[in-house]
Amino acid sequence: MKTLFTVLFLLIVQIFSAQEEDYEYANGVFHFEENKTQKIFTDWTRVRQSPNTNAQILDSLQTNQPIVILKKEETILKLGERRANWYKISYQKGDKTSEGYVWGGNLAVGYRNKNGYDFLFGLTKTVNKKDKQYPEINIQQISQL
């Protein structure tokens, strides 16, 4: 009986620590402030009615489309190696202002304008990489400009 309780305790600790790791990753890499302008990083980013992949698609946005972050949702979605929160956004298309939800993994991590050109910075994937000097596996972000 004591062994069963020990196994259950360890299982529960593992589940909660994995959730905390997802939270820390999402907030460390794809953290965007509310009421700030951000840019779309991926082509055909889907704008949804609610923060869920099964929600109705309202629109799609192209790379470099400016958006305003209205609210960060607590829901974290993992797609491939990337984990990020959903964000409620506002954006302009022509004369129309619209709102919806996008996954934070589709947003540029940063951007700069130099000599009239926009440079977007984002992550395309995450890989585990071993270093001979250290026995543990290091997570490495593969970035794209």
Instruction: Place 65 in a pLDDT band, splitting at 50, 70 and 90.
Output: very high
Q: Give the strand order in the sheet containing 117-131.
A: 110-114, 117-131, 134-144
> Which pLDDT value is given to residue 30?
76
Q: Give the strand order in the sheet containing 82-93.
A: 37-39, 66-79, 82-93, 96-103, 45-48, 57-61
As given in the structure block, the two tokens for residue 110 are 């940063």
> Is residue 27 packed enough to be buried (19+ CB in 10 Å), middle (13-18) or exposed (0-12)?
middle
- At 71-123, the pLDDT tens digits run 999 988 887 777 889 999 999 999 999 999 999 999 998 888 889 888 888 77
**How far apart, in Å, are the Cα atoms of 76 and each of 84, 87, 95, 135?**
5, 10, 32, 29
Residues β-bridged to residue 38: 67
Q: Which residues, in sequence order, are CB contacts of 8 under 8 Å at separation 6+?
A: none
- At 21-51, the pLDDT tens digits run 444 445 556 788 999 999 999 889 999 999 9
Whole-model pTM: value is 0.69
As given in the structure block, the two tokens for residue 97 are 């202002």
Residue 16 has φ and ψ, to the nearest 5°, of: -70, -35
As given in the structure block, the two tokens for residue 125 are 């994937």
> Which pLDDT value is given to residue 43?
87
Please check the confidence at residue 143 and state whether its pLDDT lies above 60. Answer: no
> Which pLDDT value is given to residue 3?
57
Query: Regarding beta strands 117-131 and 110-114, do their DSSP bridges make them parallel or antiparallel, or are they unpaired?
Result: antiparallel
